[in-house]
């Protein structure tokens, strides 16, 4: 009963704060109306599960780009994010639904960079990595980010070698808990068919297969050798996109 009351209270507060949504039956209908008004081909994604959430949410997508729109809890603000090829590149805070619809249309229907999007719509702020992804430097950016991360000091001996390796440095690196992983694509969901590296102390590393089976351990040099031996045959540089784009 208490949980139901909290959900009811949240929805009541949202209705009071966003009367324009209440008039048309929610965020989905309001956005679709705005898209129609600006002659945009976009429509909000239909998903019955979304109506069960205690917060109002909408998703709009086109090809390899999508945006999710949330409602701020403490003030009247629409909070969109901007994704391309499985990567979130920007966030925004808009108080005007028409301007939000125009921004979504510009992002999803035009071939624009994140920088251009933020220049046209000042309420949108690119993420730190956005420029690197816009310019096709996402792999180099990801390696350098891990290499310079002071909280990942236990990985540095290995990363210093791997970042110079002609095969490994063309895969997309990412961390998961204390593990260093490598993907054949640059967006999420990542691939999971390459070995992973786990620091075990004193600049030593364990290498595990994707199924978590141990492949061996040793120094950074030895760990790198094990990984090179266990990589899939004829592995190619990571592609822009997600695991679903890998043939």
pLDDT in tens, 80-102: 999 999 999 999 999 999 999 99
Q: Which of 133, 151, 173 is at the close of a domain?
A: 133
Same domain, 175 and 195: yes
Provide the pLDDT confidence category of residue 57 given band limits of 50, 70 and 90.
Answer: confident
Are both 120 and 179 inside the same structural domain? Answer: no
Same domain assignment for residues 31 and 19? yes
Is residue 75 within 8 Å of residue 81, measured between CB atoms?
no
Q: pLDDT grade, residue 73 (50/70/90)? A: confident
Residue 196: in which H helix or E strand, if any?
Answer: strand 196-201
- My answer on whether 42 and 85 are in the same domain is yes
Do 142 and 121 sit in the same domain of this protein? no
208 phi/psi in degrees, rounded to 5:
-120, 150
**Same domain, residue pair 24 and 100:** yes
Are residues 106 and 147 located together in one domain of the fold? no
Boundary of a domain, candidates 133, 149, 168: 133
Residues 115, 155 within the same domain: no
Residues 128 and 144 grouped into a single domain: no
On whether both 120 and 201 belong to a single domain, the answer is no
Q: Give the global pTM.
A: 0.88
Q: Total domain count for the chain?
A: 2
The answer to whether the beta carbons of residues 38 and 105 sit under 8 Å apart is yes
Residues forming a β-bridge with 198: 206
Domain boundary (104, 133, 162) is at: 133
Q: Which residue has the higher pLDDT, 67 or 47?
A: 67
Sheet strand arrangement including 78-84:
57-62, 65-71, 78-84, 87-92, 124-126
Distance CA 178, CA 180 (A): 7
Q: What distance in Å separates the CA atoms of residue 244 and residue 167, rounded to the nearest whole number?
A: 22
- 78 in the same domain as 148: no
Within this chain, do residues 192 and 122 fall inside the same structural domain, yes or no? no
Q: Which domain holds residue 118?
A: 2-133
Q: Is it the case that residue 206 has pLDDT exceeding 70? A: yes
Share of the chain above pLDDT 70, in %: 90
């Amino acid at each position: 009963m208490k949980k139901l009351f909290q959900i009811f209270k949240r929805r009541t507060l949202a209705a009071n704060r966003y009367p324009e949504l209440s008039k048309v039956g929610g965020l989905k209908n309001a956005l679709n109306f705005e898209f129609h008004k600006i002659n945009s081909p976009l429509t909000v994604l239909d998903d019955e599960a979304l109506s069960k959430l205690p917060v109002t949410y909408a998703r709009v997508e086109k090809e390899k780009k999508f945006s999710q729109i949330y409602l701020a809890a403490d003030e009247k603000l629409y909070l969109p994010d901007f994704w391309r090829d499985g990567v979130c590149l920007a966030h925004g805070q808009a108080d005007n639904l028409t301007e939000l619809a125009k921004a979504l249309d510009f992002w999803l229907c035009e071939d624009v960079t994140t920088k251009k999007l933020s220049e046209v719509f000042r309420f949108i702020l690119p993420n730190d990595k956005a420029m690197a992804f816009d310019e096709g430097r996402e792999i180099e950016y990801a390696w350098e980010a891990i290499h310079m991360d002071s909280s990942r000091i236990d990985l540095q001996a290995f990363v210093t070698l791997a970042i110079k390796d002609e095969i490994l440095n063309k895969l997309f690196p990412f961390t998961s808990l204390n593990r260093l992983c490598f993907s054949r694509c640059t967006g999420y969901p990542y691939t999971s068919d390459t070995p992973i590296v786990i620091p075990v102390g004193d600049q030593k590393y364990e290498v595990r297969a994707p199924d978590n089976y141990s492949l061996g351990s040793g120094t950074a040099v030895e760990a790198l050798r094990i990984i090179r031996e266990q990589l899939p045959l004829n592995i190619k540089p990571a592609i822009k996109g997600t695991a679903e784009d890998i043939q």
